[in-house]
Amino acid sequence: MTNPLLDEWIAHLAVERNLSENTITAYAHDVRDFLGHCKADDAQGVNAITPADIIGFFKALMAGGIAARSRGRKLSAIRMFYRFLVAEKKAEADPTENMESPTTAQYLPHALNTREVETLLTQPDAATREGARDAMMLELLYSTGMRVSELINVKTGDVNLIGGYLITMGKGSKERMIPVGERAMAMLRTYIEKTRPQFIKKTNPPELFLTRLGGPMTRQMFWQIIRKYALKGGIRKNISPHVLRHSFASHLLEHGADLRAVQMMLGHASITTTQIYTHINRARLAEIHAKSHPRG
């Protein structure tokens, strides 16, 4: 069964989330099975699904002897699918919103440590126009925790060099103000005044970041850029623009930032989404304890 909404979500997992092929295949299989059970083979069918339909699906799984962990993974995939649809305005509601997972396993976002971030940010050759642009994009992404979709859509007019902030349009078309650190703001001033004009061709697009042909940067192109510098810096972890966003949040919390403040900076509608980063830090503390304590 081919469902256009499912195809869009799979593309999102590959490009935006940079999940592995095996993970994407597993998630897609879970959601495809669910949609098949509900006989939802188009957008109308997907939007017609109710919590009762989901409960019926999981009752069938239980009757078939599917383990709680496997059912939890399937619910996680279905929940991710609907959250994506709601965020992209392809669905009006998330029927999984009030459902509890049959397993306590929780996905912990992957993050770089501070040394790896520093290595990544210093890879571009700032003496070239492309290198200066790439260095600016990487610095801004890590300094603000923006989504890659927000980064590539920032307009030159959205940057307030005097106030030290920029305005972005986040999920749900919600505008928010993002503070920018002094270092990144100084780089922005130089980029806008000296580097960006070198990319302008016949027309001057409003977007802040341009390609060598003078058009707006795309998320696919930026994904290739960040992977190139990770490879150059010898960073062996799977890396994507989203990883820098995770790193931004994790490092703020590690240094004592208030959870509510981090929520606002990330643009999370619910603090429960931000709280997952506290689990990362607990895991990090456990790792440090195991390595450092004589009886670890």
Q: Is residue 293 part of a domain?
A: no
Report pLDDT for 79.
92
Which pLDDT tens digit goes with each residue over 241-272?
888 888 888 888 888 888 888 877 887 777 77
The answer to whether residues 69 and 215 belong to one domain is no
Burial (Cβ within 10 Å: 0-12, 13-18, ≥19) of residue 86: middle
Q: Is residue 148 part of a domain?
A: yes
The answer to whether residues 124 and 29 belong to one domain is no
Q: Say what the pTM is.
A: 0.60
Which pLDDT tens digit goes with each residue over 210-237?
999 999 999 889 999 999 999 999 998 8
Per-residue pLDDT at 65 exceeds 50: yes
At residue 227's C-alpha, the angle toward residues 225 and 231, to 5°, is 120
- Residues with a catalytic annotation lie at 147, 171, 242, 245, 268, 277
Paired tokens of 2: 């081919």
Which amino acid, one-letter code, is at 13? Answer: L
Whole-angstrom distance, CA of residue 103 vs CA of residue 68: 6
DSSP string, 29-64: HHHHHHHHHTT--SHHHHHH--HHHHHHHHHHHHHT
Total number of domains in the chain: 2
Question: Are the beta carbons of 245 and 147 closer than 8 angstroms?
Answer: yes
The answer to whether residues 64 and 118 belong to one domain is no
Q: Final residue of a domain: which of 52, 87, 122?
A: 87
Q: Which residues contact 150 (CB under 8 A, 6 or more apart)?
A: 168, 169, 170
Q: Is residue 124 part of a domain?
A: yes
Q: Is residue 172 part of a domain?
A: yes
CATH of the domain at 20: 1.10.150
- The top-scoring range by mean pLDDT among 43-57, 71-85, 166-180 is 71-85
Is 197 or 55 the better-scoring residue by pLDDT? 197
Question: Are the beta carbons of 256 and 135 closer than 8 angstroms?
Answer: no
The answer to whether residues 130 and 268 belong to one domain is yes
Q: Which residue carries 């989901």 as its tokens?
A: 54
The answer to whether residues 133 and 235 belong to one domain is yes
Whole-angstrom distance, CA of residue 84 vs CA of residue 12: 9
Per-residue pLDDT at 27 exceeds 50: yes
The answer to whether residues 279 and 226 belong to one domain is yes
Q: Final residue of a domain: which of 51, 71, 87?
A: 87
Q: Is residue 216 part of a domain?
A: yes
The answer to whether residues 143 and 60 belong to one domain is no
Domain of residue 69 covers: 4-87
Whole-angstrom distance, CA of residue 16 vs CA of residue 36: 26
Question: Are the beta carbons of 166 and 209 closer than 8 angstroms?
Answer: no
Q: Which residues contact 202 (CB under 8 A, 6 or more apart)?
A: 214
DSSP string, 105-163: ---------HHHHHHHHT-S-TTSHHHHHHHHHHHHHHHH---HHHHHH-BGGGEETTT
What are the φ and ψ backbone dihedral angles of 38, each rounded to 5 degrees?
A: -90, 0
